[in-house]
Amino acid sequence: MVSVQELSQTRPSKRQIAWQETEFYGFIHFGMNTMTNKEWGNGQDSLALFDPPSVDCRQWVKGLKQGGMKGLILTCKHHDGFCLWPTQTTAYSVKNTPWKNGQGDLVAEVSQACAEENMKFGIYLSPWDRHAPVYGSGEAYDAFYIAQLTELLTHYGDIFEVWFDGANGEVAGKQQRYDWQRYFDCVRQLQPQAVMAVCGPDVRWVGNEAGHTRVDEWSVVPEALLSAERTMAESQKVDDGTFGRANSAQQDLGSQTVLAAYQGKLVWYPAEVNTSIRPGWFYHAHEDQALRSSEELFTIYQQAVGGNSTFLLNVPPMPNGLMAPNDLIVLNELGEKINALKKENHVPTATCQLTNLIVDPNTQTYRSVQPQEPAQLLFEWAEPVELSGVSLKEAISFGQQIESYQIYTKVDGQDELLATGNAIGYQRIVRFPKRALTSLDVRILKSRGNYHIEEVRTISL
């Protein structure tokens, strides 16, 4: 049985903390599939088809930034094997297309645009390659893939995340058994600050592509969840248009209850929530009126970023190389909502009383004095304040410790429960019906060990 001490003492790496602080970032699916109106190309489409006339990567980056995002992951190669940079590994790349007379490098353009806008840059490189003749050959394909990975990790500046897809289909009856550890070692050597996601050891796929989140997301989970083969087994197998809206996520991965009989090792393996603004991952004109609304995306944002995860939102450019006007409108609305949420903070105007907590001068956090005893943060205002929620954050460099909390207010001198919950972690956004309050009473009922509350921020939206 896993001990509470083990749960308490499992910690994130510095790269994982930096990744979690990114919170919300974009996915860009753009390539040959954009030109052929497909989701999964077969690697046989003519290179002459790739000639987008108006590529503007700065528009992409600015649009995502306007939407409240802090980074971008580019699909440098999807399953069709078409490369968006002039790779030396295959002829099936931008260097042999009409676009910019074969002199273009889309990866370089996106990387440069991110640098100009102070946005983080990440890469997606599909291990499944339906074009490469060496796919399914074992070590020869692994060497081919490592060569592509090396080009991307050495020519385009700092990489904050490498996204390893779990797709692993057949090509001409052959299927590749990926040498994941070799891929991981390559990333660690060339970009030691980058996290590796989905089939990687740093960031866990939430388990679906619909934007569904768990009620409680625990970053400390069984080591077995690191298995890339396990993730591959749960990944999309066919391009049938239904996988992206299905929820296959197991609901509890790390509570003491679910780990009661577990006897293995624990790891810090936090979750990333990924979905698309459209039904598909690549642009399709017939989906122009099928976008998720800014309200729906804002809800997902609050449940993901406000649920101890990060949020990766795909926004695919059109065949002309520009983002669609409707997508930009939604992003602008979403960004306004996120900015308004982050500006909310009535706590400094309140008086504050602490029970079993102190303000640690070294970390500027509310630190527990006796972690196994209940604690309380009581905020009181001289005049009523309209509130509809509260954001709580643990300083995760000290681990994920809090297991149970309640939030109260006083009405006619009596306690009234506003909300109750379990996990907090990096951030927990708690919403309740908007009302005028003169007090907010946050009570920590149970923890795994000594915890540090980094932030308490009120919400009135």
CATH number of the domain where residue 241 is located:
3.20.20.80
Contacts of 324 (CB under 8 A, 6+ apart): 283, 288, 317, 318
Number of domains observed in the structure of the chain: 2
DSSP letters spanning 403-459? EEEEEEEEETTEEEEEEEES--TT-EEEEEEEEEEEEEEEEEEEESS--EEEEEEEE
DSSP category for residue 348: G
Quick one: 337 and 376 in the same domain? no
98 falls in which pLDDT band (50, 70, 90)? very high
Q: Rounded to whole angstroms, what are the CA distances from 146 to 139, 151, 186, 191, 437?
A: 10, 9, 7, 14, 58
In whole angstroms, what is the distance from residue 146 CA to residue 186 CA? 7
User: Which residues have C-beta within 8 Å of that of residue 411, sequence separation ≥ 6?
Assistant: none
Domain termination residue (choose one: 287, 321, 343):
343
> Scanning the structure block, which residue is given the tokens 């105007």?
349
What pLDDT is attached to residue 250? 67
233 pLDDT band (50/70/90 cuts)? low
Nearest Cα neighbor of 407 from 349, 343, 453 is 453
Nearest to 41 by CA among 75, 74, 88, 85: 75
Q: pLDDT-based confidence at 234, cuts 50/70/90?
A: low
- pLDDT number for residue 232: 61
- CA distances (Å), 65 to each of 161, 324, 342, 447, in order? 17, 15, 15, 36
**Amino acid identity, position 152:** L
Co-location of 83 and 186 in the same domain: yes
Residues 177, 137: Cα–Cα separation, whole Å: 9
pLDDT tens sequence across 250-298: 689 999 999 988 989 999 999 999 999 999 999 999 999 999 999 999 9
One domain, residues 11 and 56: yes
Instruction: Report pTM.
Output: 0.95
Residue 354 and residue 338 share a domain: no
Contact 138, 180 (CB under 8 A): no
One domain for residues 293 and 428: no
Query: Given this model, what pLDDT does residue 69 score?
Result: 98
Tell me the CB-side half-sphere exposure of residue 249, using CA atoms within 13 A.
24
In this structure, what CATH number is given to the domain that contains residue 455?
Answer: 2.60.120.260
Positive or negative, the Cα torsion across 49, 50, 51, 56? positive
Q: Which pLDDT value is given to residue 245?
A: 45
Return the pLDDT at 404. Answer: 97
- Whether the predicted pLDDT of 443 surpasses 70: yes
Instruction: Return the amino acid letter for 274.
Output: N
Tens digit of pLDDT for each residue in 151-161?
999 999 999 99
**Mean predicted confidence (pLDDT) in 414-435:** 97
- In this structure, what DSSP letter does residue 258 have? T
Residue 146 shares a structural domain with residue 295: yes
The stretch 232-243 carries a mean pLDDT of 54
* DSSP structure class, residue 23: -
CA distance 382 to 94: 64
* Boundary-marking domain end, from 291, 318, 343: 343
Q: Report residue 278 as tokens.
A: 């459209």
227 and 275 co-located in one domain: yes
pLDDT above 70 (res 244):
no
Residue 36 shares a structural domain with residue 67: yes
Question: Which tokens belong to 302?
Answer: 């609050």
- Residue 80 scores a pLDDT above 90: yes
CA distance 454 to 356: 15
243 — pLDDT class (breaks 50, 70, 90): very low
The residues that bridge with 275 in the sheet, in sequence order, are: 313
pLDDT, position 133: 96
Q: How much is the average pLDDT of 77-101?
A: 98
d(CA 146, CA 134): 13
> In this model, does residue 172 exceed pLDDT 70?
yes
- Over residues 38-56, the pLDDT tens digits come to 999 999 999 999 999 999 9
Of the candidates 133, 28, 12, the one whose C-alpha atom is nearest the C-alpha of residue 76 is: 28
Q: Is the pLDDT of residue 206 over 90?
A: yes
One domain, residues 305 and 355: no
Question: In this structure, are 289 and 317 located in the same domain?
Answer: yes
pLDDT at 441: 97
Same domain, 404 and 329: no
Strand 220-222 relative to strand 204-205, pairing: unpaired
Under a CB-based contact definition with an 8 Å cutoff, are residues 299 and 17 in contact?
no
User: What secondary structure letter does DSSP report for 48?
Assistant: G
- Which domain range does residue 44 map to? 4-343
Of 343, 365, 398, which one is at a domain's C-terminal end?
A: 343
pLDDT at 18 over 80: yes
- pLDDT tops 60 at residue 246: no
Distance from the Cα of residue 285 to its chain's centroid = 26
Instruction: Give the span between the Cα atoms of 334 and 352, in whole angstroms.
Output: 33
Tens of pLDDT, residue by residue over 287-299, are 999 999 999 999 9
Do 384 and 335 belong to one domain?
no
